[in-house]
Amino acid sequence: MEKFHNNLEELKVDILNMGNIALQMLQCSVEALKKLDMDLARNCYDLKDKLMDYDEEIEDKTIKLAMLYQPMAKDIRTIACILKLITSLTRIGRYGKDISNIVIKELDGVIHIKKIVSIPQMIAIVAAMVKDAIKAFETNDVEILEDFEERDDEVDELRISIFRECLTYMMEDPKNIKICTAYIMIARYLERCGDHACKMAEKIYYMVTGKRKEIK
């Protein structure tokens, strides 16, 4: 089983690399939004192919490893966790791609309103959640995940706050409709990324402890 565990460790490294790409796509897309930097947005968008390569490669390797060695106990939970994580990381990266797409197609030449509302605060929380989930997977330290429910609630509240604030701006001046619609959509994408971070946390908790934990 030594070869199995060596291959499993290689898969874990692949997950960490994929996680870094997904997080990079998300963070740099919001940075492109802040600066209305079209070149940066395009660079973020172009990372989608690298993300998908990791998704397909890790899935293939994981399935082959499970079929070849038929692992048991924590090893099989790790295999199952990896297959779940690549789905969430792909979704997170794709939301980064979608934010970049909004910047490129909708926001070239526009002017921001009030420092793009609470989106910077939102991305800070979501990015930290994704980072902590990846770290928990790497270290088997599930204590990092204990406050995910509270953090997710804060993300949900910020999304609602952004929606309400943007409605006010749009009613005050129809010229704000385009930029505020983008803010609302991006806040929704960030909320979904927070949800995926919570799903990752649930699967990692099960991988480490063998017990189920729902983050509501």
216 inside domain: no
User: For residue 73, what pLDDT is reported?
Assistant: 87
Parent domain of 179: 2-209
pLDDT one-digit tens code per residue, 164-190 = 999 999 999 999 999 999 999 999 999
Below-70 pLDDT ranges, the chain: none
214 inside domain: no
CATH code, 109 = 1.20.58.220
pLDDT one-digit tens code per residue, 123-135 = 999 999 999 999 9
How would you label 59-90 residue by residue, b for 16+ Cβ within 10 Å and e otherwise?
A: eebbeebbeebebeeebebbbbbbebbbebbb
10 inside domain: yes
Q: Is the pTM of this model over 0.75?
A: yes
